[in-house]
């Protein structure tokens, strides 16, 4: 039998019962749709993660007090919250392999201007902070050493804070109130979007000396710095210096469990977020794979029903000269048709949902864009076709092995 | 100079057939010795359960015998593999069944086309012409686009005859072809078979009715799995309204 005839016969077998074929395909549609959607979402999230970190640059390093990770807003709630001293920051600044070392103190309180109020993240830090966080002034200026020397009551505000408090007015030289103290706005930062899923445009930066004066703090909430040269070497330098200063003896295996500080680089964060994203994608792809298997079993079931229903037809085909392989191929192609068409519909639905999702999420997450992975589509369709072959072979063999006369006389 | 040995189209020697259900053997045919020559119109006649259909299925390569010999043009069927049997069914024999066995929800044209899809030598370009000629020969040209379920019983059997002759096989087997038809439609079908015989085809007809068997030129009577009579049909019937056959 010619391949063209086989394809025509098989396509007729699928289209003759459209409703049933569509229901049979449902498992494959869901499976393939999920694969396409999740791989596309994975790629979009990768873009977001890269976006979160790309502003900082991979050589930005943050040292946190304690050993419980940087998560959890108030460091005072964590053990060893006061382990990082300002002297640590000064000593780190002596290293040749780092620049722009800036201790950070968080100040709590709302910002108010007239009747407008905002809930910013208030950062007290040195001018080096602007360098290692890669932020620039859009309006006015950033605070400098002279502001630090005199602990001047000045602030540099993020673009969202400027909008919240001042709407269309120029914020420069206006006096805002933070925790019952007045500050003069000297600059507005250029918008940078979200960093590590926090809105970086909702921060207010005050001079480090001013923050110390207000909070009377003797320890830093974190120290940020910029690595120069090989990142691993810099991390080793910083670790060894802090251990030396804190009198920490590391265990023989070189583990970090004795440390009272934690070092994170943007590159590490990128790696961790990337791993999490990949893990999530793999997990959901696995679920989609299970859906494909369930869909495949559905296909096998319906194909077995179809073989039983069409037993007389199979007998007739054999009586007019069909060989075993003609019948085998006819039913196998029907099964692959079902899964492949299901796959194509699944790709369409997956891409459609991804587009809707990208449009919706893109409004809230910078860098979340509609991503189409051609590789994932090809893989999903190939998996669908493979499912058709894997689950179609048994019914097709059952059909091909039918005895012609028994099949013709089947009631 | 010796004359070449005559080889009959179909020959059986001590042919037996039994069905097996677990260890239980049910014999159906016993020691059938039979010779059918090219161009004959033979009726195999017998009551229900006599084994006539089983014999036809074996002679038509739809079933296997269990003992004895079955030679088709001198070639023993037992030495043929499944692909060879399928090729013979595609090219040299064809069937007309009592239950018509047309593909449901399929047009007359598509039903008649079916054997050509499996024919190893007829090129695709020739198919349409052959199908149209076969449909025309049974007088159904006007209905070639009808679905099989839109036809009467007589028309369905004529489609089955068109399907049987579209490959121009040497032997046409007809198993109770008039069994599901009224007498007028039955006459029409028998006329068609007689026309095919006149056109040179070997016809093997299976029936339990004497009047139907009398359309053949030779009647083999079978009873309890044995051939009891092998007769020439002296008062042969001729059906009217025969079809035209293109050779």
- The answer on A325 and A290 residing in a single domain is yes
- The answer on A220 and A112 residing in a single domain is yes
Is A359 a domain residue?
Answer: yes
Find the residue in B nearest to A2 (Cα): B117
pLDDT per residue as tens digits for the range A149-179 = 999 999 999 999 999 888 888 999 999 999 8
Interface-testing mutation among B59, B86, B127, with chain A (most A C-beta atoms within 10 A):
B86
Is A96 a domain residue?
Answer: yes
- The answer on A70 and A45 residing in a single domain is no
Question: Is there a contact between A219 and A80 (Cβ–Cβ < 8 Å)?
Answer: no
Is A257 a domain residue?
Answer: no
Per the structure, the complete domain to which residue A390 belongs is given by: 3-53+271-408
pLDDT per residue as tens digits for the range A364-380 = 776 778 878 788 888 88
Q: Which among B91, B101, B124 is the nearest to A408, CB-wise?
A: B101
CB-based contact B91 A312, cutoff 8 Å: no
Structure tokens at B80: 């043929």
Mean pLDDT of B194-204: 91
- The answer on A205 and A82 residing in a single domain is yes
Q: Which among A16, A323, A405 is the nearest to B62, CB-wise?
A: A405
Number of domains in chain A: 2
Among residues 16-75 of chain A, which lie with CB inside 8 Å of chain B?
16
Q: What DSSP string runs through A8-68?
A: HHHHHHHHTTHHHHHHHHHHHHHHHHHHHHHHHHHHHHHHHHHHHHHTT-TTEEEEEESSS
What's the rounded Cα separation, in Å, for the pair A296 and A29? Answer: 11
| Residue-level pLDDT at B242 | 52
Size of interface A-B (CB pairs under 8 A): 63
- The answer on A83 and A224 residing in a single domain is yes
- The answer on A195 and A149 residing in a single domain is yes
Percent of chain A with pLDDT over 70: 94
Percent of chain B with pLDDT over 90: 61
Query: Under CATH, which number does the domain B10-232 receive?
Result: 3.40.50.300
CB-based contact A321 B97, cutoff 8 Å: no
| Residue-level pLDDT at A55 | 65
Domain termination site, one of A228, A261, A290: A228
Among residues 320-359 of chain A, which lie with CB inside 8 Å of chain B?
320-324, 326
Is A190 a domain residue?
Answer: yes
Find the residue in A nearest to B88 (Cα): A321
- The answer on A74 and A221 residing in a single domain is yes
- The answer on A281 and A200 residing in a single domain is no
Query: Where do the domains of chain B lie?
Result: 10-232
What's the rounded Cα separation, in Å, for the pair B108 and B160? Answer: 9
Is A241 a domain residue?
Answer: no
* Edge-to-edge strand ranges of the sheet holding B202-207: B93-96, B171-175, B202-207, B41-45, B218-223, B226-232
Q: Rounded to an integer, what is the distance from CA A75 to the centroid of its chain?
A: 26
- The answer on A125 and A105 residing in a single domain is yes
pLDDT per residue as tens digits for the range B11-47 = 999 999 999 888 899 999 999 999 999 999 999 999 9
- The answer on A210 and A68 residing in a single domain is yes
- The answer on A85 and A46 residing in a single domain is no
């Amino acid at each position: 039998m010619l391949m063209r005839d086989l394809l025509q016969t098989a396509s007729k077998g699928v289209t003759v019962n459209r409703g049933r074929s569509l229901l049979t395909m449902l498992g494959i549609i869901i499976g393939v749709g999920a694969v396409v959607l999740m791989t596309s979402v994975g790629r979009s999230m990768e873009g977001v993660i890269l976006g979160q970190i790309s502003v900082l640059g991979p050589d930005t390093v943050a040292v946190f007090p304690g050993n419980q990770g940087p998560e959890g807003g108030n460091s005072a709630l964590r053990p060893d919250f006061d382990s990082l001293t300002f002297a640590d920051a000064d000593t780190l600044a002596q290293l040749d392999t780092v620049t722009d070392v800036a201790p950070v103190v968080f100040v709590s309180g709302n910002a108010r201007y007239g009747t407008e109020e905002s809930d910013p993240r208030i950062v007290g830090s040195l001018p080096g902070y602007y360098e290692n966080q890669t932020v620039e002034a859009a309006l006015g200026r950033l605070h400098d050493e002279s502001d630090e020397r005199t602990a001047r009551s000045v602030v540099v505000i993020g673009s969202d804070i400027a909008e919240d408090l001042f709407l269309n007015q120029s914020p420069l030289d206006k006096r805002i109130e933070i925790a019952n103290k007045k500050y003069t706005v000297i600059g507005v930062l250029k918008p940078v979007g979200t960093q590590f899923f926090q809105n970086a445009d909702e921060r207010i930066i005050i001079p480090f000396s001013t923050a110390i004066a207000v909070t009377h703090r003797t320890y830093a909430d974190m120290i940020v710095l910029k690595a120069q040269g090989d990142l691993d070497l810099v991390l080793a330098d910083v670790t060894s210096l802090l251990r030396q200063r804190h009198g920490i003896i590391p265990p023989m295996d070189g583990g970090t469990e004795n440390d009272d500080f934690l070092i994170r680089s943007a590159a590490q964060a990128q790696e961790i977020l990337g791993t999490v994203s990949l893990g999530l994608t793999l997990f959901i792809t696995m679920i989609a794979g299970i859906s494909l298997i369930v869909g495949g079993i559905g296909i096998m079931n319906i194909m077995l029903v179809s073989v039983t229903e069409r037993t007389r037809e199979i007998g007739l085909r054999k009586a007019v000269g069909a060989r075993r392989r003609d019948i085998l191929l006819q039913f196998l192609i029907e099964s692959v048709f079902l899964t492949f068409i299901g796959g194509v519909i699944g790709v369409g639905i997956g891409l459609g949902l991804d587009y809707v999702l990208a449009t919706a999420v893109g409004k809230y997450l910078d860098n979340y864009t509609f991503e189409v992975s051609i590789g994932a589509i090809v893989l999903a369709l190939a998996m669908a076709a493979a499912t058709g072959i894997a689950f179609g072979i048994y019914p097709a063999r059952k059909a091909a092995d039918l005895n012609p006369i028994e099949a013709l006389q089947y009631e | 100079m010796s004359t070449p040995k005559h080889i009959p189209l179909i020959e059986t020697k001590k042919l037996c057939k039994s069905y097996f259900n677990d260890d239980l053997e049910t014999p159906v045919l016993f020691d059938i010795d039979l010779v059918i020559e090219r161009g004959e119109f033979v009726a195999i006649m017998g009551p229900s359960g006599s084994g006539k259909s089983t014999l036809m299925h074996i002679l038509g390569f739809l079933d296997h015998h269990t003992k004895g010999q079955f030679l088709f043009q001198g070639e023993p069927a037992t030495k043929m593999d499944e692909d060879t049997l399928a090729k013979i069914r595609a090219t040299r024999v064809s069937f007309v069944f009592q239950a018509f066995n047309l593909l449901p929800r399929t047009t007359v044209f598509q039903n008649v086309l079916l054997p050509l899809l499996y024919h190893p030598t007829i090129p695709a370009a020739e198919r349409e012409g052959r199908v149209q000629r076969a449909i025309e020969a049974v007088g159904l040209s006007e209905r070639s686009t009808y679905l099989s379920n839109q036809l009467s019983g007589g028309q369905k059997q004529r489609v089955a005859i068109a399907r049987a002759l579209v490959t121009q096989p040497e032997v046409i087997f007809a198993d109770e072809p008039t069994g599901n038809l009224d007498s007028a439609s039955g006459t029409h079908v028998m006329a068609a078979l007689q026309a095919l015989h006149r056109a040179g085809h070997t016809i093997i007809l299976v029936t339990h009715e004497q009047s139907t068997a009398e359309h053949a030129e030779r009647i083999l009577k079978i009873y309890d799995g044995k051939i009891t009579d092998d007769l020439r049909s002296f008062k042969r019937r001729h059906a009217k309204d025969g079809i035209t056959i293109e050779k």
